[in-house]
């Protein structure tokens, strides 16, 4: 019975880990055109910098809400 509980816990951890990696991957796919650009381009304006910072802030908040649950008492 205990092996079953450990197995379910490992599956839940892997599911949460994969979900977090998918969220980061999709977010970077959509944000990368703003962040990764050629060096010859003009310096981004302050509004663009604030926009990019807000997007990464949304990512951080989203990942905090979807954190990896180890058990009901502790969150990693």
Distance in angstroms (rounded) separating the CA atoms of residues 60 and 76? 14
Model-level pTM? 0.57
pLDDT confidence band for 70 (50 / 70 / 90): low
Give the tokens for residue 1. Answer: 């019975």
pLDDT at res. 8:
82
**pLDDT tens per residue across span 14-53:** 888 888 888 888 877 877 776 666 555 677 788 888 887 8
Q: Which whole-number Å values give the CA distances from 73 to 13, 53, 69, 76, in the listed order?
A: 14, 32, 9, 10
Closest to 16 measured CA to CA, from 57, 58, 70, 56: 70
Helix (H) or strand (E) holding 39, with range, is: none
**All structural domains of the chain with their residue ranges:** 2-65
pLDDT at res. 35:
67
Query: Are 69 and 12 contacting, i.e. CB atoms less than 8 angstroms apart?
Result: yes
pLDDT confidence band for 5 (50 / 70 / 90): confident
pLDDT at res. 68:
66
Angle between helices 2-35 and 46-65 (to 10 degrees): 170
């Amino acid at each position: 019975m205990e092996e079953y509980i450990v197995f379910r816990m490992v599956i839940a951890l892997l599911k949460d880990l994969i979900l977090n990696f998918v969220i980061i991957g999709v977010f970077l796919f959509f944000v990368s055109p703003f962040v990764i650009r050629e060096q010859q381009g003009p310096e981004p304006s302050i509004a663009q910098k604030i926009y990019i910072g807000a997007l990464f802030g949304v990512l951080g908040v989203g990942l905090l809400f979807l954190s990896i649950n180890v058990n009901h008492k502790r969150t990693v």
